[in-house]
Amino acid sequence: MQASEIRTRFLKFFEREGHKILPSSSLVPADDPTLLFTNAGMVQFKRVFLGNEESPSPTRRATTAQKCVRAGGKHNDLEQVGHTARHHTFFEMLGNFSFGDYFKRDATGFAWRFVTDELGLAPENLRVTVFHEDAEARALWKEIAGLGDDRIFGLGEKDNFWQMGDTGPCGPCTEIYVDLARVAKDWSAPAGATGSWTDPSKVDFDTEAFVEGAEAGRFVEIWNLVFMQFDRQHDGTLAPLPRPSVDTGAGLERIAAVMQGVSNNFDTDLFSPLLAAVDEQLGAVPLTDEREVIAAKRVIADHARALAFLLADGVYPSNEGRGYVLRRILRRGVRYAWLLGRREPTLTRVVEKVIDTMHDVYPELAQRRKEIATTTRAEEERFL
């Protein structure tokens, strides 16, 4: 299933369940000095969760495909990008939101129906995690999804308590994982890895083996359901929110990997045209290590997406703040292109490909096509 179909199916599924489909907000958060970039679907709804703004939908339910950047600030993935299967500077987060309407029960039911009925994932290939103190979440997974305790892992605050930043709305969460060893045709345990999770035929794990397998990429988290209950204060204490709410986030790139039976997000249809645009520009590549070549191409494909979308939202290269992060992303991309033997602008062509392939969903890309390409080229030339 192509990524565009997953995105559409998600929004339509939640629309049928009374959610209003709302557009993605800008990558530059409106009036929020606590945050460098929009890093999750809930950012545009922060004030609604806090009770300071009315629900944007009369049903108190909404759904979005949200542009996100995690580079700079609290959620900063920049240095990992290219070297792992799932880190990105820019990614799309699919989400459904309840602003004081439904809570844990319906959120769990919707998610389970979407992954099993709409996506058709086999329940035996799914696992979930819950916050270890959240007995209600565990009981709901048992009741609604029929999962046994051996498929539900209780984890601590680091994994299963989500917060947007140092302050603001937060709460315990529950996450859905897919066993890639069972669904991806190319999955294999990393070289030298040991432990029961490295055996693809094994399906029963204790918590420790599951966590190790998740860290090593056998189990991929595709959806995080946050039960928004608190507002984290400056002194670290938790004040209850006026109405318990739901914020969920499902990474489109990860779901695409699962649905396309591949272990690495960069092997999905979201990235293949971009990687092809990198390849078209390469001559003899000086690097001899094939893994380094692949990583460099992935860095360029990833960073081109962030550049196109940040420039479309009015961020310009500069020496401070958001513009500085944009400049760092661009320069990292140029550096990797240099390692591939390029001595002239490379990202510009890839950025144009991002516009070509995504402007139907995000029209701002087409509206600013010229400025995006011109700015990228000028910055590339300057750094070269």
- Residue number, nearest CB to ligand SER: 249
For residues 221 and 364, which CB has a smaller minimum distance to ligand SER in the complex? 221
Separation CA 323–CA 14 (nearest Å): 35
For residues 85 and 304, which CB has a smaller minimum distance to ligand SER in the complex? 85
For residues 6 and 372, which CB has a smaller minimum distance to ligand SER in the complex? 6
For residues 160 and 376, which CB has a smaller minimum distance to ligand SER in the complex? 160
Separation of CA 215 from chain center: 16
Among 3, 78, 226, 296, binds ligand SER (CB under 6 A): 226
Site for ligand SER in 304-323 (CB under 6 A): none
For residues 49 and 205, which CB has a smaller minimum distance to ligand SER in the complex? 49
Among 72, 95, 217, 244, binds ligand SER (CB under 6 A): 95
For residues 82 and 249, which CB has a smaller minimum distance to ligand SER in the complex? 249
Using H for helix, E for strand and C for coil, what is the string for the chain?
CCHHHHHHHHHHHHHHCCCEECCCCCCCCCCCCCCCCCCCHHHHHHHHHCCCCCCCCCCCEEEEEEEEECCCCCCCCHHHCCCCCCCCCEEEEEEEEECCCCCHHHHHHHHHHHHHHHCCCCHHHEEEEEECCCHHHHHHHHHHHCCCHHHEEEECHHHHEEECCCCEEEEEEEEEEEEHHHHCCCCCCCCCCCCHHHCCCCCCCCHHHHHHHHHCCCEEEEEEEEEEEEEECCCCCEEEEEEEEEEEEEEHHHHHHHHCCCCCHHHCCCCHHHHHHHHHHCCCCCCCCHHHHHHHHHHHHHHHHHHHHHHHCCCCCCCCHHHHHHHHHHHHHHHHHHHCCCCCCCHHHHHHHHHHHHCCCCCHHHHCHHHHHHHHHHHHHHHC
Among 247, 302, 352, 364, binds ligand SER (CB under 6 A): 247
Report if residue 345 touches ligand SER, rule: CB under 6 A: no
C-beta neighbour count of 45 within 10 angstroms: 25
**With contact defined as beta carbons under 8 Å apart, do 211 and 156 qualify?**
no
Site for ligand SER in 123-162 (CB under 6 A): 162
Backbone angles phi, psi at 9, to 5 degrees: -60, -40
Report if residue 42 touches ligand SER, rule: CB under 6 A: yes
Minimum Å distance from CB 334 to ligand SER?
30
Minimum Å distance from CB 369 to ligand SER?
30
Among 10, 26, 41, 140, binds ligand SER (CB under 6 A): 41
Report if residue 224 touches ligand SER, rule: CB under 6 A: yes
Minimum Å distance from CB 321 to ligand SER?
22
Residues whose CB is less than 8 angstroms from the CB of residue 215 and which lie 6 or more positions away in sequence, other chains included? none
Minimum Å distance from CB 179 to ligand SER?
20
Report if residue 40 touches ligand SER, rule: CB under 6 A: yes
35-43, 45-53, 107-115, 354-362 -> range binding ligand SER (CB under 6 A): 35-43
For residues 65 and 299, which CB has a smaller minimum distance to ligand SER in the complex? 65
Report if residue 29 touches ligand SER, rule: CB under 6 A: no
Site for ligand SER in 156-175 (CB under 6 A): 162
37-45, 256-264, 312-320, 364-372 -> range binding ligand SER (CB under 6 A): 37-45
For residues 38 and 260, which CB has a smaller minimum distance to ligand SER in the complex? 38
Count of residues engaged in binding ligand SER, rule: CB under 6 A: 10
Among 98, 174, 248, 376, binds ligand SER (CB under 6 A): 248
For residues 247 and 352, which CB has a smaller minimum distance to ligand SER in the complex? 247
Among 252, 365, 358, 355, smallest CA distance to 3 is for 252
What length is written for the chain?
Answer: 384
Binding residues vs ligand SER (CB under 6 A): 40-42, 95, 162, 224, 226, 247-249
